[in-house]
Structure 1
Amino acid sequence: MSLIEYLAPYDFSPLTVLSFMLVLGFYGVGLLRMPEEDRPGSVRIMVFVLGVLIAYGVMQTRFDYYSQYMFFVHRGQHLVLHHLGPILIALSNPLPVMRFWSRQISPGLKSRLRPLGWLYRFLQHPLIASVLFVGLIYFWLWPPIHFDAMLSRNLYWVMNWSMLIDGILFWWLIFDPRPPATTPSLGYGKRILLLALVAIPQMVLGAMIVFSRGMVYDVYEVCGRAWPMAPETDQLLGGMLTWIPPAMMSILGILIILRRAMREDGSFTSRSSQVGETT
């Protein structure tokens, strides 16, 4: 298979392709319209583009074919959609770039879009966000639901899009760049607590799959596997991908939050000492 054939969509979705094109297009135009001194650095730009592209890659390349016929590849797909891609997007902080488009919205349209703001604030409540983040993983891996999702094209797309959107919402809550001391953003201690809490049920679920004695997800037996791999091995690898990498990403997130908190505390201490010297 050539590289072009691999990169071509296995199951072409015009809505998916258009959505990713619009996101990159809006981001690019926003960059060009921003004052040069306000533009993010090249690293942040590359991190954002990488996060978008890998999410696109697992949804609209040949990777999507293997994720439908191998359980462990499917878990890798959701690892990207729910964790890695959204983490990169959130860390790149694209909001200042996208803010250009918010200024183009008329007051009348803003008032009609206000319910979306209420929904966003509801979903970003720490309890709701964490329950939804873990709950979606359990929901889509519940064997009867997973069986139906892998056999229904529409439900399959709902599953993947829900994982991506929820991942972006959760990791944006965690990596919100606004300092909690001066803004209504979530405090650093609460962010660390959320990361620890959501890691535990994911580890439990992954361990349950790994140590299961029978086949939990027989849909891959019904449809056949893309590679001649033993079903037990496929399930074992999928369980490990559900267990270990998400826990590691929670630890990485905690380290990033701790670094931010220490840096912010250091800058606050420095400003306080400067004010004391001047007085």
Structure 2
Amino acid sequence: MFSLEMLLPYDFSPLTVIVFVTVLGLYVTGLRLMPSEDRPGALRIFTFLLGLGICYAVMQTVFDYYSQYMFFVHRGQHLILHHLGPFLMALANPLPVIRFWNRQIPQRVRPFLTPFGLVYRALQQPFIAAFLFVGLIYFWLWPSIHFDAMLSRDLYWIMNWSMLLDGMLFWWLIFDPRSPARSDAVGYGKRMLMLALVALPQMFLGAWIVFNRGMVYDVYEVCGRAWPMAPETDQLIGGVITWVPPAMMSIIAILIILRRAMHEDSKMTGKRDWKPQEAHQ
């Protein structure tokens, strides 16, 4: 039965609370101070807040407890941190709010931000972004590394934060609202290719976990499971979560990017058809 205690942190992290509250505060304040014509619509605002909220929920509620003692819940936690939450926030296009706050940064502070900008641009290279996106999943699911991460509080938090930050970088690259024709944004074809390429290794890893006859992640046997579930069932469900939902999200993202590309192409075609007529008149 649901109770308010389930919303309280299992392992309270002041840094996590501060970061999420700061992001929420900056977003809401930016919306209030922005000119009305620049503000995103209600659906986009809701989508961003939903993505932010579910990421917070899996890190600072009782969900985090179950993710430490059930493998399939842990895979659900990383599905949200690395895929669904960043997917929703990037899809909501917070670029107007980001640009608003960027204009508020004093000129004397900007030189100190240059190194961060260089790192960001390096990580947003398509090959690097795709490699990190898949590589981090494999890294933290390597049995010996996963064993240590689930038994070390510091490693556990590093694991979760790395998944969230990497997810934000990847999905922002995919859903960058800028037009590739008028900016240095990655082309739509490259984005769709990236989505297809990152889906395949995830499907392979999920299938390997599902069809593995032995216990791959025995750390949950050492710590004990939160529910009386057979270890094989826990691992099976966790493998399915690693396998199916990420692949489905890649397909959905490809369809979204394809729609954007077709929409932009139709606009460009319309302009080309209209200009000669205008000149003739």
Q: Which amino acid aligns with 2:153?
A: R
Partner of 2:63: 63
Q: How many residues are aligned here?
A: 279
Greater alpha carbon shift after TM alignment, 95-104 vs 4-13:
95-104
Equivalent pair of 1:93/1:177 in contact (CA under 8 Å): yes
Partner of 1:225: 225
Tell me how far 1:99 sits from its aligned partner: 2.0
Partner of 2:210: 210
CA distance in 2, matches of 1:97, 1:126: 25
Tell me how far 1:106 sits from its aligned partner: 1.6
Asked if residue 87 in structure 1 is aligned to residue 87 in structure 2, the reply is yes
Tell me how far 1:2 sits from its aligned partner: 4.5
Q: Which amino acid aligns with 1:276?
A: P
CA distance in 1, matches of 2:216, 2:37: 54
Q: Which amino acid aligns with 2:249?
A: M
CA distance in 2, matches of 1:86, 1:12: 22
SS at match of 2:109: helix
How far does the alpha carbon of each residue in 1:81-108 deviate from its partner, in whole angstroms, 9 at most, with x for none?
0000000000111121122221221222
Partner of 1:121: 121
What TM-score, normalized to structure 1?
A: 0.99
Instruction: Kindly report which structure 2 residues correspond to 1:141-160, keeping only aligned pairs within 5 A, or say none.
Output: 141-160=141-160
Q: Which 4+ runs in 1 deviate beyond 3 A?
A: none
Equivalent pair of 1:86/1:168 in contact (CA under 8 Å): yes
What TM-score, normalized to structure 2?
A: 0.98
CA distance in 2, matches of 1:4, 1:220: 27
Partner of 1:186: 186
Partner of 1:108: 108
How far does the alpha carbon of each residue in 1:143-168 deviate from its partner, in whole angstroms, 9 at most, with x for none?
01000000000110000000000000
Partner of 1:277: 277
Equivalent pair of 1:26/1:98 in contact (CA under 8 Å): no
What RMSD in Å do the two structures reach over aligned CA positions?
A: 0.8
Partner of 2:32: 32
Partner of 2:172: 172
Q: Which amino acid aligns with 1:243?
A: W
CA distance in 1, matches of 2:266, 2:189: 16
Partner of 1:18: 18
CA distance in 2, matches of 1:96, 1:2: 37
Partner of 1:256: 256
Equivalent pair of 1:52/1:89 in contact (CA under 8 Å): yes
Asked if residue 77 in structure 1 is aligned to residue 77 in structure 2, the reply is yes
CA distance in 2, matches of 1:99, 1:7: 33
CA distance in 1, matches of 2:2, 2:137: 34
Q: Which amino acid aligns with 1:166?
A: D
CA distance in 1, matches of 2:146, 2:4: 31
Q: Which amino acid aligns with 1:70?
A: M
CA distance in 1, matches of 2:142, 2:191: 28
CA distance in 2, matches of 1:98, 1:117: 14
Partner of 2:134: 134
Tell me how far 1:182 sits from its aligned partner: 1.1
Q: Which amino acid aligns with 2:34?
A: M
Q: Which runs of 5+ in 2 are unaligned?
A: none
CA distance in 1, matches of 2:98, 2:177: 15
How far does the alpha carbon of each residue in 1:186-212 deviate from its partner, in whole angstroms, 9 at most, with x for none?
000000000000000000000110010
